[in-house]
A and B are shown apart, each in its own frame.
Chain A
Amino acid sequence: MASLTLLAIGTRKGLWVATSADGRASWRLSGPHQPVDSVYAVAIDTRRSPPRLLAGFTSEHFGPVVAVSDDLGTTWDEPDHRVIAFPDGADAVVSRVWQIAPASPDEPDVVYAGTEPTALFRSADGGRNYELVRGLWDHPHRAEWTPGGGGMALHTVLPHPTDARQITVAMSTGGVYRTEDGGGTWRASNTGIRAPFLPNEYPEYGQCVHKVARHPARPDRLFLQNHPGVYRSDDGGARWRSIAGGLPSDFGFPMVVHPHRQDVVYAFPLAADLERFPPDGSCRVYRSEDAGESWTPLSRGLPQNGFWSAVLRDAMCVDDAEPAGVYFGSRSGEVYASPDEGESWCRIVEHLPDVLCVRAATVPG
């Protein structure tokens, strides 16, 4: 069967869907879907046939919803009822969905969602309805988690690829937490991650982690973009060490692992916390091919100067093709794609609202 490359683009004012039927040489764009709603989270669940798109839409007026599409974004199923909500007694209201993460293929109906305020929800019906994961919500540290600049959100969910009991999450601020019993109990997992904005720079928790990523074939190795700092863990998050050497800055938001090569990782550095532009206004993706020991700037086809924009934590992704495609969207509404693992780039969309998230996959055409 012929295949398509599908690229979902969530923005501050709606979702766009791009498809390529010619090996990512050209793209066809549809949207906006749910215009004006902000889309902080989108996922492509390729465990299903047909693949399912899931998106967290938030209306400033009318609140959040998770909608699903089983026809590659042409139509969306938005239930009448609240699909994701805190239960009675929780004294909190879901204001936004920041992350949607399908679990491993062993649990084909399980989908996790991270929200603002900081909480983890679990769906057992393919992402249509969600229940609060109480173990994390009831964690004694929760009272001391505080909002980052973007809000107090659980923005990263990494279900383990082979062990459903293990889940890693990250939040701003709060840091990394892990469970090994399916969500019943959680422990902070930030040893070695610096928090220069706190009196104790190496606290047990309270770090402002921006993104964590890993390769499914090596689940104990994690890559992390912090605020600031770039880290790697080789023991499932128990300890972290810096891999920022060779980058022009250790500040940034996204962190993405290659779909097939477990030592290859991508970052998009910004100059500094208080200078959130690419260094010198030069748009560059950085790639490491040795698990962060060294980094190479990639800029062929990208703006060489005058790029005073930024790439947010979920606005970079890879597809699952061979060779892998790499994608990122900017706060200035441009989306760039590389069909050759980052060697060369092409702008495939411009003039969109701020790009908040992108996800890509190969799907049946």
Chain B
Amino acid sequence: MRAVRVVVLLAGVLRPSADGKSRLEVDFAAGATLGAVLDRLAERYPALDRRLRDEHGGLRRYVNFYVDGEECRRLDGAETPVGPGVEIQIIPSVAGG
């Protein structure tokens, strides 16, 4: 299988939890899933991870994960496959009052 590089774009409010970065890259030897990408990010940025997922790895309800423009919950959630060149945008959803 081909090596996979996935690009993750973070909304501004999340960047302080990732050393101020807006764009992160994650490399895999083979195909991966959104959850696997988040696992890798968790190793590098635990403060980011606890904002994105709960203690059992569940995606936080009011954080959206767009995989090439499609929100992952309309796909396979954390099991959504990510292939070469895929771009993941992580954006807080509308919530609060």
Contact = CB atoms under 8 A, between A and B. Distances in A.
Contact of B60 (A62, A65, A94): A62
B95 A63 contact: no
Interface residues of A, number: 15
Contacts of B74: none
A60 B62 contact: yes
Interface in B71-97: 92-93, 95-96
B70 interface: no
Interface in B49-75: 50-52, 54-56, 58, 60, 62-63
Contacts of B95: 60-61
Nearest to B55: A85
B96 A93 contact: no
Interface size class of B (residues with CB under 8 A): 10 to 19
B96 A82 contact: no
B12 interface: no
Contacts of A36: 96
Interface of B: 17, 45-47, 50-52, 54-56, 58, 60, 62-63, 92-93, 95-96
B96 A63 contact: no
Contacts of B47: 80-81
A59 B51 CA distance: 9
Given A36-B96, A61-B60, A93-B58, A80 B46 contact: yes
Interface string A71-84: 00000000011100
Given A85-B55, A86-B55, A93-B55, A61 B50 contact: no
B55 A94 contact: yes
B50 to A, nearest CB: 5
